Amino acid sequence: MKEKIKQKTESAYAKIMNEEDARVCKAIDENACKVVPGNFFLTIISYFFNKLADSVANTKVIIPWIMESLSVPLFLISFLVPIRESGSLLPQLLIAAYVRKMPIRKYVWSIGAFLQAFSMIGIGIVAWNMQGLNAGIAIITLIILFSLARGLSSVAEKDVLGKTIPKTRRGTLSGYSGSLAGLLIIGLGIYFLLVGEKPFSPQNFGVILFTAGIFWIIAGLVYSRIKEFEGETDGGGNAISVALKKISLLKTDKDFRNFVISRALFLCSVLSAPFFVILAQQQSNSSNYLLGLFILAGGCADFFSSIIWGKLSDKSSKKAMIRGATITSILGFLVYFLDTFYENIFSTIWIMPLIYFALTIGYQGIRIGRKTYLIDLAGGNKRTDYVAVSNSIIGFVLLFTGFIGVLSSIIGLNGIILLLAIIGCIGVYMASKLPNVTSL
């Protein structure tokens, strides 16, 4: 039975890769090469449930919507995105030092997934039982735990992927998992469109978050089945001293430094998304229709674009990043132009979700491209250092970019979107100077 399953797995893997011998083992050892097909599908399944859970419990749309329905004070809602993003990145320098001591690191990812499940189920309980300030404090506390858990998984993820999946297959893997999850998120968006103007209670959102928690549990269990062989454990000393030492990579490694700068500039894509949503909410009646359209747009974008970006990333992750950032920057200029010269144009409820659809496509290109680029740029145990240093630096940058909203009183909401579009153009220029690493 096991032999038949193995043969079918290898056959399916070969068809996906479109090669007779799909096990092209670049940058992984011989033992790992023998089990690539099985690991490929286990990783896709776990990534699929992780992505699905992340989309169902969307912290850019769903969680703020829940907090507003629970009458949580606005000042607490404003902390959501900075905590969600920087909280998962900042601790990674310290976490990486401990992870490096572990020859097998897949369980770190699984533990992170279980903690994310616990956090979201906790928020679901809050939605059922609490209101106002107390609900807000409880949700923010759970989001902090959620973010730290994501940081734990992130450090292990790229290292395990680099040890188990060949160099020219990693982008394809991310693309398939993203597209499969996007297909189901389309269904969630359609559901919100069907309920339309009907009231959607906090309890209903609680059920959604419980479901997201179950998805994370499944993801963690599947990931633990990956066949990972022992890797290097050098440098796993005192967390703080190792962290400080590895920051020197920004000074000594030019290519890595330029990548981090480019990635920081590409934050314009994720930062602009909430402002797109705010514009739509300001110029139209906030309803389940609008929420459904945004969810549907994001799911469709993931489904239709992830595989394409994944395959492009395997050919040139640098080009994937640049093209994705170009799309998001152009959209920023477009939104600024439309809002400036066509008053209340976004009161037409479908226009902004359509733009958000294109924005999400561009963001997928940046996300899949930069993840693939970083893994291919690193080698051996440097991979964990690169991930930890890069994510921690981006975490600090995010803390400061969280204050960009105060500029709205000076340059307006569309002015912020224009500024982010300009920053994106600078990021495209910086990324064009990066070396091609896919074929190295």
Give me the pLDDT at residue 78, please: 64
Q: Is pLDDT larger for residue 429 or for residue 48? A: 429
- Both tokens of 396, joined, read 């600090």
Q: How far is CA 412 from the centre of its chain?
A: 28
Question: Binning pLDDT at 50, 70 and 90, where does residue 26 land?
Answer: low
Which of 13-22, 45-54, 296-305 shows the lowest mean pLDDT across its residues? 13-22
Q: Is pLDDT larger for residue 336 or for residue 281? A: 336
CA distance 94 to 333: 39
SS3 sequence of 404-429: HHHHHHHHHHHHHHHHHHHHHHHHHH
Q: Is the residue at 283 inside a domain?
A: yes
Give me the pLDDT at residue 405, please: 65
Q: Is the residue at 439 inside a domain?
A: no
Give me the pLDDT at residue 336, please: 93
Give me the pLDDT at residue 418, please: 93
Phi, psi of 314 (to 5 degrees): -70, -25
Phi, psi of 41 (to 5 degrees): -75, -35
Question: Counting runs of H as helices and runs of E as strands, what totals does the chain give?
Answer: 19, 0
Q: Indicate if the pLDDT at residue 66 is higher than 90.
A: no
Helices (H), 168-287: 170-195, 202-223, 239-246, 249-252, 254-265, 268-283
**Across residues 357-381, what is the average pLDDT?**
84
Give me the pLDDT at residue 171, please: 63
Q: Spell out the residues 6+ positions from residue 71 whose beta carbon is closer than 8 angstroms to its own.
A: 131, 132, 135
Residue percentage of the chain with pLDDT more than 90: 17
**Across residues 31-39, what is the average pLDDT?**
66
Give me the pLDDT at residue 354, please: 93
**Across residues 242-251, what is the average pLDDT?**
71
Q: Is pLDDT larger for residue 74 or for residue 145? A: 145
How many domains does the chain divide into?
Answer: 1
- Both tokens of 427, joined, read 């990021």
CATH code, domain carrying 189:
1.20.1250.20
- Both tokens of 385, joined, read 């250092």
Contact 217, 114 (CB under 8 A): yes
Q: Is the residue at 440 inside a domain?
A: no
Q: Spell out the residues 6+ positions from residue 335 whose beta carbon is closer than 8 angstroms to its own.
A: 276, 279, 355, 414, 417
Give me the pLDDT at residue 357, please: 93
Give me the pLDDT at residue 75, please: 66
- How do residues 376-435 score in pLDDT, each as one tens digit? 787 656 766 777 788 778 878 877 776 776 676 678 778 888 999 999 999 999 999 888
What is the crossing angle of helices 382-401 and 239-246, to 10°? 80
Give me the pLDDT at residue 153, please: 83
Phi, psi of 365 (to 5 degrees): -60, -45
Q: Is the residue at 52 inside a domain?
A: yes
**Across residues 274-293, what is the average pLDDT?**
75
Which of 82-96, 204-218, 224-238, 383-397 shows the lowest mean pLDDT across its residues? 224-238
Give me the pLDDT at residue 328, please: 94
Residue that has been written with the tokens 């297959």 in this structure: 169
**Across residues 354-376, what is the average pLDDT?**
88
CA proximity to 68, closest of 196, 205, 191: 205
Contact 369, 324 (CB under 8 A): yes
Average pLDDT, the chain: 78
Q: Is the residue at 402 inside a domain?
A: yes
**Across residues 101-123, what is the average pLDDT?**
87
Q: Indicate if the pLDDT at residue 324 is higher than 80.
A: yes
Which of 8-22, 111-125, 196-210, 327-341 shows the lowest mean pLDDT across its residues? 8-22
Give me the pLDDT at residue 3, please: 56
Q: Is the residue at 438 inside a domain?
A: no
- Both tokens of 133, joined, read 């300030």
**Across residues 353-373, what is the average pLDDT?**
90
Q: By residue range, what is the domain housing residue 45?
A: 2-432
Q: Indicate if the pLDDT at residue 240 is higher than 90.
A: no
Q: Indicate if the pLDDT at residue 340 is higher than 70.
A: yes
Q: Is the residue at 395 inside a domain?
A: yes
Q: Is the residue at 222 inside a domain?
A: yes
Q: Characterize 406-415 residue by residue with b for buried, 16 or more Cβ atoms within 10 angstroms of its Cβ, and e for exposed.
A: eeeeeeebbe
CA distance 153 to 151: 5
- Both tokens of 437, joined, read 């690493």
Give me the pLDDT at residue 225, please: 83
Question: Binning pLDDT at 50, 70 and 90, where does residue 178 land?
Answer: low
